[in-house]
Amino acid sequence: MKTRTRTYFAIAGALALTACATQYQPRGMTGGFSETQLGPNAFTVTFKGNGYTDFDRATDFTLLRSAELTLGSGFRYFVIVDANSWQQMAVMTTPTHTTTTLDASTTGTLNSYGGVGTFRGTTTGTARSTTWGGNSFLIQKPRTSNTIVCFAQPPQAVGMVYDAEFVRTALTAKYHIGQ
């Protein structure tokens, strides 16, 4: 019984940890962002979400972290020179449990001879087993990555040039971060 109770608490704890989408946070047990500086003005930024995080949120959080790194490094603009997104797939299977109930009846004759007896009879019954659990769920965890180059002035680049201050303001408002 103690083992079953511990199992229930372990499952409940695991579910509580993953009960909502990954927040905007440094990478931890439930996901988040991380970065690697590649040069004085270049970074790779990655965001890893949990199974409740959608791709739009993961993409936005990668963009937000890119903007924060740009501003924190003394720049105002950035260009994404490489972007990737993918899913990490996992399967979770719930534990199985079985309960069996037996309904039985016995009929027969008991013959006793001086403290010793014999019984001749028949026992009939019905057993019912119920099994539940064992369900498998596919969990898709979004992953996004940007390699960015930062600039003090808007570059004469082909493609999208992001204003880091604008991106930070828009995305922190959208997700109510720091409010």
Q: Is the pLDDT of residue 14 over 90?
A: no
Q: How far apart are CA 96 and CA 90, in angstroms?
A: 19
The total of structural domains in the chain comes to: 2
Q: Are residues 49 and 117 in the same domain?
A: no
Close Cβ partners of 62 (under 8 Å, ≥ 6 residues apart): 33, 45, 46, 47, 144, 145, 146
Mean pLDDT of 52-77: 97
Mean pLDDT of 27-43: 94
- Report pLDDT digits (tens) over 112-124: 887 788 889 999 9
- Closest Cα partner for 38 from 146, 143, 144, 142? 146
Q: Are residues 105 and 31 in the same domain?
A: no
Of residues 6 and 170, the one with the higher pLDDT is: 170
In a domain, 105, yes or no: yes
Exposed, middle or buried: residue 19 (CB in 10 Å: 0-12, 13-18, 19+)?
exposed
In a domain, 170, yes or no: yes
Q: Are residues 71 and 17 in the same domain?
A: yes
Q: How far apart are CA 81 and CA 155, in angstroms?
A: 13
In a domain, 179, yes or no: no
Of residues 158 and 102, the one with the higher pLDDT is: 102
- Report pLDDT digits (tens) over 127-178: 999 999 999 999 999 999 999 999 999 998 778 999 999 999 999 999 999 8
pLDDT for the residue numbered 17: 45
